[in-house]
Amino acid sequence: MGPLTVSRLTTNDRRDAWPLRLKRTRAGDVLVVRWIDRLGCNYEDVCDTIRTFIRRGIVVGTVINNFAFDGATKNPMQQAVRDALIAFMAATSQAQADMRPPRRRSGLASSTPSRAVSALILGASQA
């Protein structure tokens, strides 16, 4: 079986291939993603997905920071630290996703020449 691929498109409920991915994974499998934001489109979706995998005995690994999230520990303090790290990473991903549209608009606005610049360009080309 080939590696599982995950790409961030929409909520997991609406992904056509999502039920197949869940069905293909078994306890003891390792699902490797570039970053946890690939597991959902918002904070709640990412956290729920990772918890689902952990409950099923599937390890979720990240490429960027080389973390592995699993359900191996039974120590409540270690579980709390793991869950807090997942929540922090999911919140960071959500914040970055929320900033993409304003950044995109800002970038587009700054790439549009102002009237003064347009006039200078047109004036220079007519001379």
Paired with 60 in beta bridges are 31, 69
Asked if 75 and 83 count as a contact pair (C-beta separation under 8 A), the reply is no
Domain ranges for the chain, please list them.
12-126
What are the mean pLDDT values of the chain's consecutive 10-residue runs (127 residues total)?
47 62 85 86 88 92 90 92 93 84 70 57 53
Residue 57: both structure tokens together? 């005995």
Helix (H) or strand (E) holding 32: strand 30-33
Put simply, whether the predicted model's pTM sits higher than 0.85 gets the answer no
CATH class of domain segment(s) 12-126 = alpha beta
